[in-house]
Chains A and B, each alone.
Chain A
Amino acid sequence: MVEPLTADELDWDELGLKVGLEIHRQLDTPRKLFCRCEPELVEEVPEEPRVRRKLRPVQSEMGEFDPAALEEFKRDRTFHYLSDGSFSCLVELDEEPPHEPCEEALDIAIKVTLLLGGEVVDEVHVMRKMVIDGSNTTGFQRTMLVGIGGEVPTSEGTVRISTICLEEDAARKVKGWDQELQVEYCLDRLGIPLIEVSTEPDIRTPEQAREAAENIGEAIKAVGGVKSGIGTVRQDVNISIEGGAVQEIKGVQDLNLIPKVVRFEALRQANLLRLRDELRERGVKETDVVECRPVDVTEVFEGTESEVIRRELERGGVVYALKLPGFDGLLGFELCPGRRFGTELADYAKRRGVSGLFHSDELPGYGISEREVEEVERRLKVGDEDAFVLIAGPEDRVKSAMEAVKDRAVMALDGVPAETRRALKDGTTEYMRPRPGAARMYPETDIPPVVISRKRVERLRRELPERPWERREKLLKEYGLNEELVEQLFEHGRVEEFERLVERTGADPKVVATTLVNVLPRLKKDGYPVEELKESHLEEVLRLHAEGKIAKSAIEELLGALAADPDADAEELAEELGLIMASREEIERVVRKVVERHRDEIEERGMRAMGKVMGEVMEVLRGRADGKLVSEIVREHIKRIAGE
């Protein structure tokens, strides 16, 4: 019996790991991409008006049906759209043709293209990308290719950008029921512009994937006009290994989850290949599986102890069993943590409206008795090498689910089927639908093509910010900041502000950076209304410091006071609070006083009394003096006395 691989045994080179990314980010434009509605989410989803709709697959202009769309159609789902005049109009409801694309969104996409070093197409064509999971009322997502090419650096090599697209966001799922055959969507998110940056599959390690995603994300952010917060950034990760197949993993929201997703997916594919080799070794043929027919075994389960099955039977459901010839022991084969081959089969079954399946590697169990297992095995003529699955539920759904299970079992003989999968919180993934082909793209005939003039491109090129990775180099080298501070400046989105403040105030870059990323958040935590502080306040305070009028340690107190009284003059406020640096005369005066007080001790101990004197002087000056200067003056005085 073959053993599954574990994640620690993987060698990326040996596996031939290839990863590509699709980074999506919502734009903060004055309107939605194809209508005049505001691109904002509502806090409370209304109950009404509710529009029930169905979607159907259509042939592409090349005469093909998209496999993902066909599969979805077989599920016969009903979609409920919640549409309210406050956040959506007839365009989102697919009751009015789309308006022309939002120009501001196009500008952002052009700028992102240029910033990444790509080229802008001469004429943008809006396409319809078939998506019939209901998340688009039309049954397609409108999308347009704006830029081609470009690259993003990582510490493990350059990653090429393939395309930069502008597309409409999908409707927001509120809830699903009846095994997801009924789904409710709110139309507020539908039509919000999204930028999508896709890379070539140049990424070779899990960490590199994270780094590339981060750099692309920062480049988009640097261009500006993007939304931030939960749900505004979504990363899709395409992963394959040698001999496997490209999987499109959807909706990785957290950058730090990317390496984990890549690792687990590579492991899953490697193990599916092991599973395939084992099946081949056992001599299992496609026809063996195809010829197996699902058998009605409802009778066997009359009076069963299994909760799940009993509930289905009470509702008038049935139980079917399907033999999987040669699969004994393989349904429990662990592909990656928490996911067995049986889990993959169950994912396919669930899509057809059943709650799941039982397989022979886990039975007897879940209330299903040994006697019931034996009876099923007898009816299916299950041999020693064979496995079986059980599905309970309404008859038409059970039959359809069994077909899906059989299809998936057949695919196991070829190794890894190409799928669209959903990322789960623990880094593993679950099956969503087959991978769509290019057949799902077709022109949006309701919108004329948009010519992008070279003048427009050149105008936007002049507005480009610095590339984040180049700026990072500069921050490290020119300003002498450490990596941690640089990261924090990026995280807080205050890089530009930092550069301006350093230039205008002449303050020490480290002081400026810590003020922005440490002092301000600390003040906020302490309850100061820091949102009242404008860049001009920061500039005044940092200039006072740079001119030597206030100490570094006084910056925090002065900013806090300014936040509470933003109309005040910073220097006057500093005086009021006694934060203005002491003059040399004042320091001399204080030092003289303290030295007088300890004259005896100094005469006796000389320089060894320095610490005590320093401490007392500093306490009197309360941070209004530079320690170095104070110590210099104290030293002079002590020397003088000791020398007498």
Chain B
Amino acid sequence: MEYKGEARRFLEEHGVEVGDRVRIVRDDGVEIEGIIMPRSELGDDRHLVIKMDNGYNVGVRVDRIERLEPVGERREPEFRPLEGEIPEDPSLPNVAVMSTGGTIACRVDYETGAVKPAFTAEELVSAVPELPDVVNIADVRAVMDLLSENMEPKHWVKIAEEVADALSDPDVDGVVVAHGTDTMAFTAAALSFLLDGLPGPVVLVGAQRSSDRPSSDAASNLIAACKFAGEGKVGEVTVCMHGWTADEVCLVHRGVRVRKMHTSRRDAFRSIESLPIAKVDVRDLRNPSVEYLREDYREPEDGEPELSGGFEERVALVKFAPGMDPEVLDFYVDKGYRGIVLEGTGLGHVSERWLDSIERAVDEGVAVVMTSQCLYGRVNMNVYRTGRLLRAAGVIPGEDMLPEVAYVKLMYVLNETDDLEEVERMMRTNLVGEIERGRTIGGFEPADGPHHRL
């Protein structure tokens, strides 16, 4: 967000900087007065951005500026909270809220021009003043400040430690983790496998419209997440996001069955062929209500939660496409990888050309797990010849696990054991709800397609 090149030199030569008020005279005599604003990353290095008194920003070409002089006082930005004190209501549940760098509670910072996460309880409540009517914010932590696409397994562990620590406080009923949406489902799966003996809900929450806009879904998602966390009825890791494009219902998805299915919509997150755990009516943000949609969720456990293991990072997720060279597998084997999750076609296939490389991988002790790029449905490697050949080569069927979930799970399992038989047993056994008993009709409904039936 800083000026580069020509524009930067110009600012330095004139001894002014971002935030200064200046009057500019252009070569055609046009006068522009206002405050120098930070430069967008998308902009070139030849223009200054000036915020005029009418609020508009305009770009002025540096080589057209005939005169520039500072005028008046420099004004520092200040973020004033919307309301003062945070009321505490002993009859309300206590929830811990942590941020990892998503956009749920952020401000546009004038100094850097960036959308910066601002994270204290006061700031949270000033951005979402309805919160104190729903829960007490018992604990607020800024765990990290990462864009979710930059998240790595070590960060999952760090988040899990903080969650476990927050939940060790017997007064805390549940934890809400604000997270960027891009890899939120991966983190949800990781926490699901890692956190053992949860005494209350862990709810990941994000926003598809950043909280710097009036139409943001951040506030309603956060309120729904806090409401669900505060109820304390579920000992699982979940994801809470909009159920549809309207601000009416948020859905609480099981952390190992959820997937981001749209680049931009509010209802991007879907439970894949699986019923969400609950829905939260958020029409009245000061009085949301939870309806549980399934009964087979895990109950909270007594005592303090623990981290049950860790993640083997030498695991790859490889999506197969026609024509792809099997050398990609050899690369991972040569690099010493210990697990490969394949995202195959249909019931769980890759080209027969890949058989040799797969056999070699298995021979060298690499766990190879098959999932399907169909996402919906179960892998079955007995129906077609290729499937049987792959099975014979030692490929482990990934049942009905989502490819990303199988990837995280394989990291978790390989951290426990080297034994491929044990790996297969664990991968095919349901640990935290990632494998469901059977698929039934009704799980494959598009949410708003009008043309699917007569």
Is the Cβ of B215 less than 8 Å from the Cβ of A94?
yes
Q: Of B53, B107, B215, B246, which is within 8 A of A59 by CB?
A: B107
Q: Of B110, B209, B212, B245, which is within 8 A of A63 by CB?
A: B110
Please tell me if A519 contacts chain B, counting CB pairs below 8 Å: no
Please tell me if A251 contacts chain B, counting CB pairs below 8 Å: no
Q: Mark A612-623, 1 if CB is under 8 A from B, else 0.
A: 000000000000
A96 surroundings in chain B (CB, below 8 A)? 263-265
A148 surroundings in chain B (CB, below 8 A)? 30, 32, 58
Is the Cβ of B47 less than 8 Å from the Cβ of A123?
yes
**Roughly how many angstroms separate A96 CA and B78 CA in the complex, as a whole number?**
31
Is the Cβ of B59 less than 8 Å from the Cβ of A127?
no
Please tell me if A580 contacts chain B, counting CB pairs below 8 Å: no
Is the Cβ of A51 less than 8 Å from the Cβ of B246?
yes
**Roughly how many angstroms separate A123 CA and B80 CA in the complex, as a whole number?**
32
- Per the 8 Å Cβ criterion, residues 36-91 of B in contact with A are 37, 40, 42-44, 47, 49, 51-61, 64, 75, 77-80, 82
Q: A90-B264, A148-B30 are in contact. Are A449 and B43 (CB under 8 A)?
A: yes
Q: Mark B92-118, 1 if CB is under 8 A from A, else 0.
A: 000000000000000111100101000
Is the Cβ of B213 less than 8 Å from the Cβ of A438?
no
Please tell me if A443 contacts chain B, counting CB pairs below 8 Å: yes
Q: A51-B246, A55-B214, A125-B56 are in contact. Are A61 and B47 (CB under 8 A)?
A: no
B117: min CB distance to chain A, Å: 14
**Roughly how many angstroms separate A163 CA and B32 CA in the complex, as a whole number?**
12
Stretch in contact with the other chain, from A135-143, A325-333, A493-501, A557-565: A135-143
Q: Mark B179-208, 1 if CB is under 8 A from A, else 0.
A: 000000000000000000000000000000
**Roughly how many angstroms separate A127 CA and B448 CA in the complex, as a whole number?**
33
Please tell me if B247 contacts chain A, counting CB pairs below 8 Å: yes
Please tell me if A1 contacts chain B, counting CB pairs below 8 Å: no
Q: Mark B297-318, 1 if CB is under 8 A from A, else 0.
A: 0000000000000000000000
**Roughly how many angstroms separate A179 CA and B181 CA in the complex, as a whole number?**
38
Please tell me if B416 contacts chain A, counting CB pairs below 8 Å: no
B189: min CB distance to chain A, Å: 26
Is the Cβ of A163 less than 8 Å from the Cβ of B54?
yes
Q: A54-B220, A137-B215, A140-B214 are in contact. Are A95 and B264 (CB under 8 A)?
A: yes
The tally of residues in A whose CB lies under 8 Å from a CB in B reads 57
B265 surroundings in chain A (CB, below 8 A)? 90, 95-96
Most A CB within 10 A of own CB, among B40, B58, B59, B82? B58
Most A CB within 10 A of own CB, among B51, B57, B77, B264? B57
Please tell me if A130 contacts chain B, counting CB pairs below 8 Å: yes
Please tell me if B17 contacts chain A, counting CB pairs below 8 Å: no
Q: Of B28, B216, B264, which is within 8 A of A119 by CB?
A: B28
A145 surroundings in chain B (CB, below 8 A)? 52, 54, 56-58
Is the Cβ of B211 less than 8 Å from the Cβ of A61?
no
A438 surroundings in chain B (CB, below 8 A)? 53-55
Q: Of B52, B57, B60, B245, which is within 8 A of A95 by CB?
A: B245
**Roughly how many angstroms separate A94 CA and B217 CA in the complex, as a whole number?**
11
Q: A63-B78, A95-B266 are in contact. Are A119 and B30 (CB under 8 A)?
A: yes
Please tell me if B401 contacts chain A, counting CB pairs below 8 Å: no
B405: min CB distance to chain A, Å: 26
**Roughly how many angstroms separate A557 CA and B96 CA in the complex, as a whole number?**
86
Is the Cβ of A138 less than 8 Å from the Cβ of B78?
no
Q: A125-B56, A445-B115, A449-B40 are in contact. Are A62 and B110 (CB under 8 A)?
A: yes
Is the Cβ of A125 less than 8 Å from the Cβ of B49?
yes
- Per the 8 Å Cβ criterion, residues 546-604 of A in contact with B are none
Q: Mark B208-228, 1 if CB is under 8 A from A, else 0.
A: 010111111001100000000
Q: Which residue of A lies closest to B214 (CB)?
A: A139
**Roughly how many angstroms separate A35 CA and B265 CA in the complex, as a whole number?**
16
Is the Cβ of A58 less than 8 Å from the Cβ of B212?
yes
Please tell me if B122 contacts chain A, counting CB pairs below 8 Å: no
Please tell me if A311 contacts chain B, counting CB pairs below 8 Å: no
B58 surroundings in chain A (CB, below 8 A)? 121-125, 145, 148
Q: Mark A64-78, 1 if CB is under 8 A from B, else 0.
A: 110001000000001
**Roughly how many angstroms separate A400 CA and B383 CA in the complex, as a whole number?**
68
- 5 tightest CB-CB pairs across the interface, nearest first? A139-B214, A123-B59, A441-B55, A448-B42, A438-B55
Complex A-B: 5 CB contacts under 8 Å:
A56-B214, A61-B108, A121-B60, A122-B26, A449-B40
Task: Enumerate chain B interface residues (CB-CB to A < 8 A).
Answer: 26, 28, 30, 32, 37, 40, 42-44, 47, 49, 51-61, 64, 75, 77-80, 82, 107-110, 113, 115, 209, 211-216, 219-220, 244-248, 263-266, 283, 285, 448
